[in-house]
Structure 1
Amino acid sequence: MTPPPYTDALMALMHQAGIAELEKLSTVSGLSGWQLARIQYGLLPKMPVEVLLKLGQALQVPIPELVATLSEGSTLPMATPTAPVISLEPELKALQQEYERLQGQLACQQAALYERFQQEVLAILEPWLLQWPTAAAAAQRNPQWPAVKLLPLIRPLANLLQQWQVEALATVGETVGYDPQWHQLLDDEEADLEIGTPVVVRYIGYRRGTNLLHRAKVSRADASDDEA
């Protein structure tokens, strides 16, 4: 039985991609056997753009080259043209533009999903982010506490926050100049505190890039000295 006219061309592309069998191509591309059979009969240009994208990705072949190889007008060893070759340039150009548009859309969707994922994770971690640094500072001041042994276990999470560009505002116990944009006073009666007044960080805040996530909670520097 004579194989479909574009079987050899498809097998050649599969060989270049390191795919030996049609079953393997079906698994890699997500295309059904029926769709691959249609492709072998030269019907690729009539199939949905999604099929072109999947096949091109699986075979690692640009869409224009894929269409030119697996449709009428391609150069096949066994083919004997019986009619004038019709130019596919307009169709190929339109397919390439659609392919690039879908690639850009997919990249935007992936970036949006990743951003949403990070925000959801940070929301879950919010209580820990606000409380842990203060507890860790207390443990470091008291090396005999059993909890101090847990501090090295937090390094992987700290590295993750660094990769996500989450930055702490100062450190617990650090004296800084008061700035209401970045600092929240623990004592509401001191709401009239002047900008630049020395304050001590009690609970650190966070920012991500230029966006503020949480303001650092602070108190007057002289008040902390009295407590000490």
Structure 2
Amino acid sequence: MVMGASITTYPEILRGYELLLELMRRNKILNWNQLQQKTGLSSAALWRLRDGDAASLSLDELSRIALCRRHHAEHIALSIPLGNFLDKLGILPPHPELEIKRRECLELQQQLQQLNQEKETLRKDGLRLHSELQQQQLELTQEFRKSTFEKLQTLLVNYPSIDQMVKVKPELPAKNLLSSFTPLENLLKEWDYQPIGKPWEQVEYNPQIHQPDTGDIAESEMVYIRFIGYQHQGNILCPAKVSRTLPGAGK
């Protein structure tokens, strides 16, 4: 039994009765019989509760009315913390252990609220950082394209005209066109893209850096480089294409 409660007046009884009805309505408990079934209260305890004599009930009975026990989910009743329930009924038990539990409950609620706020803050920060990263990637991509275009601008501007000149004048010496490719050579140097071999150079076949035109070329066999390859900081970007013969020389 909850000790230390004062004599209950009629207005207090009425407020307690209305409070119970409101909590029952919120939890879809249609009548007092349903409340009794959910809480497992005796008929006598239920009548004392209805008559405003909640102070005469035991702490266990009040706990079953306010909130189910942890391991008896089928006894869910009014779904209100016990401390709040007792405060609303005007019951102030002097039980020190109950007061400690109530304070602990309030502290846990505050900690949970703070954790939820921190979680929401982290979520917003994550979305903001993701958006900023996407924006930075876009800006870097645009800057890279702009910088590359500027380095190749001369070649890109001249190439269509060179293509047209070759079609109109196929006899035009190729050496007159080689200077147009200087920007491309400069860009490869700036990126530190190193050529593998030289065109028509004779070298020993190395399967690590060469791509043969036939599958029967043995390692260290002498071959000619038909098309150079490229490497960057020790990584092979594309191997040099090699053959036993030079173009036009036959096989």
Task: Give the alignment's TM-score, normalised by structure 2.
Answer: 0.32
Q: Given the two structures, how large is their TM-score scaled by the length of structure 1?
A: 0.35
